[in-house]
């Protein structure tokens, strides 16, 4: 379904990149522990983590695989599995699946609304998007029983309405104010092409479009 499949060397089970779950083999149904990560630019990553090291694997031979699959109009290697015209097939989304509900946050909407206070699967969530680096992150916006509401203060700094604390939008850490030093809990999310996300989650809600009904 147009998403990377890996195998483990110990059991030869097959694992879905999007699900983080074994889909075939002895470990079928097993889920890996989720660790938060970003899809961002190298310059933005270095700005946040100046002492980082990087693994550079290069390309397969002399061919750039991104040209065929990422920069073309093709819907992946296999083509679309399900038709859903709510978004263009190559629209990027921040996809969230939580407590049985799936929501897609289109980059085109987040460009104009970089801070989203929403609820997914009964959990209040914050979606922060930085258009310059194409980075989208999602946090739980409930802290010690209090649900916070966020607005953009400047650049990548947010402010909550309830306490006036300022926050780093990338890390979810309070920088100043009554909640300084506190951190929001991350919510599992992924940046994906629309054609890949909708094939796995056909009943997904799409945030911010005129019609939010599923096909």
CATH code of the domain covering residue 74: 2.102.10.10
197 and 113 share one domain? yes
Q: In this structure, are 29 and 41 located in the same domain?
A: no
213 lies in a domain? no
**pLDDT score at 77:** 60
Burial of 121 (0-12, 13-18, 19+ CB in 10 A): middle
Q: Residue 76: is its pLDDT beyond 70?
A: no
* Of the candidates 204, 208, 212, the residue with the CA atom closest to the CA atom of residue 82: 204
In our burial notation (b when 16+ CB lie closer than 10 A, e otherwise), range 189-208 reads bbbbbbbbbbbbbeebbbbe
How far is it, in rounded angstroms, from Cα 76 to Cα 90?
Answer: 9
Asked if 168 and 102 sit in the same domain, the reply is: yes
Residues 127 and 185 in one domain: yes
24 and 103 assigned to the same domain: no
What does the pLDDT read at residue 70? 59
Please indicate, yes or no, whether residues 86 and 154 belong to a single structural domain of this protein: yes
CB contact at 8 A, 73 and 86: no
Strands 101-106 and 205-206: parallel
| pTM, rounded to two decimals | 0.85
Q: Do 7 and 95 reside in the same domain of the chain?
A: no
Helix (H) or strand (E) holding 198: helix 194-200
Question: In DSSP terms, which residues pair with 167 in a beta bridge?
Answer: 158, 174
Q: Which H or E run contains 124?
A: strand 123-130
Q: Distance between CA atoms of 163 and 175, rounded to whole angstroms?
A: 12
Show Cβ contacts of residue 112 under 8 Å, excluding neighbours closer than 6 positions.
Answer: none
**Average pLDDT value for residue range 176-200:** 93
Q: Are residues 26 and 46 in the same domain?
A: no
Q: Is pLDDT at 21 greater than 80 in this prediction?
A: yes
Element (H, E) at 140: strand 135-140
Same-domain status, 23 and 49: no
Using a pLDDT cut of 70, give the percent of the chain over it.
86
Query: Is 3 or 204 the better-scoring residue by pLDDT?
Result: 204
> C-alpha distances in angstroms, 190 versus 22, 81, 94, 130, 187?
18, 20, 6, 15, 10
Q: With bands split at pLDDT 50, 70 and 90, how would you rate the model's confidence at 61?
A: low
Structural domain harbouring 22: 1-33
The tokens describing 106, both together, are 């289109």
Mean pLDDT score, 76-99: 85
For the chain, how many structural domains are there in total? Answer: 2
């Amino acid at each position: 379904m147009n998403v990377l499949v890996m195998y483990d060397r110990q059991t030869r089970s097959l694992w879905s990149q999007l699900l983080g779950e074994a889909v075939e083999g002895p470990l079928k149904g097993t889920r890996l522990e989720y660790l938060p990560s970003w899809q961002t630019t190298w310059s933005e990553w270095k700005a946040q983590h100046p002492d980082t090291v990087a693994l550079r694997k290069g390309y397969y031979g002399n061919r750039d695989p991104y040209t065929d699959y990422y920069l073309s109009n093709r819907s992946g290697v296999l083509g679309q599995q399900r038709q859903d015209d709510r978004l263009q097939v190559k629209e990027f989304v921040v996809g969230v699946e939580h407590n049985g509900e799936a929501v897609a946050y289109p980059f085109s909407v987040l460009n104009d609304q970089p801070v989203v206070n929403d609820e997914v699967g009964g959990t209040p969530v914050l979606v922060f998007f930085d258009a310059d680096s194409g980075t989208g992150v999602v946090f739980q916006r409930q802290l010690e029983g209090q649900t916070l509401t966020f607005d953009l203060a400047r650049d990548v700094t947010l402010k909550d309405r309830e306490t006036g604390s300022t926050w780093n939008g990338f890390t979810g850490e309070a920088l100043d104010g009554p909640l300084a030093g506190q951190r929001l809990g991350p919510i599992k999310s992924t940046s994906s092409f629309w054609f890949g996300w909708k094939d796995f989650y056909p009943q997904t809600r799409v945030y911010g479009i005129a019609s939010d009904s599923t096909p």
